[in-house]
Amino acid sequence: MATLGGGCFWCIEVVFSEVKGVVRVLPAYSGGHVVNPTYEQACTGTTGHAEVVQITFDSDFICFRKLLEIFFAVHDPTTLNRQSGVGTQYRSVIFTIMENRKIWLRRLLRALTRRRYTMHQL
């Protein structure tokens, strides 16, 4: 399972629902301080939640890394709080549960940051 936020959850949901190996894509809110916020509450940007999709996938067909490659290809994580909308609920975010994914993800993000910085210097 992967929980990713790249702006409007409906936009991200459409992308991942078409990916072979993805079993289910569930739009939700994550990372906030209000228990079970309504759509209206989350849209105010005051609950601390991000719009996310929880992706259930079959690792025999697609791996977590490939999901992240798609994720980074369909949105710009460097645009703060402006992914297909404006507000903190539209931020780019990845929630992880497994410690090995956290470690791997930190390495990936450092590599992507270095690559982006290097490309801007050219």
Q: Which residue has the tokens 């939640």?
A: 49
Assess contact for 106 and 98: CB atoms under 8 A.
Answer: no
CATH number at 58 reads 3.30.1060.10
From CA 82, how far away is CA 54, in angstroms rounded?
20
Query: Which range of residues forms the domain containing residue 54?
Result: 2-97
pLDDT, tens only, 7-47: 888 889 999 999 999 999 999 999 999 999 998 999 888 99
Evaluate whether residue 119 is within a structural domain. no
Residue 28 lies inside a defined structural domain of this protein = yes
Would you name the residues annotated as active-site residues?
8
Question: What's the pLDDT tens digit per position in 45-101?
Answer: 899 999 999 999 999 999 888 998 899 888 877 777 666 667 788 888 888 877 777
48 is a domain residue: yes
Which one-letter amino acid corresponds to residue 30? S
Q: Which residues partner with 27 through β-bridges?
A: 53
Judged by DSSP in three states, 91 sits in coil
Domain count along the chain: 1
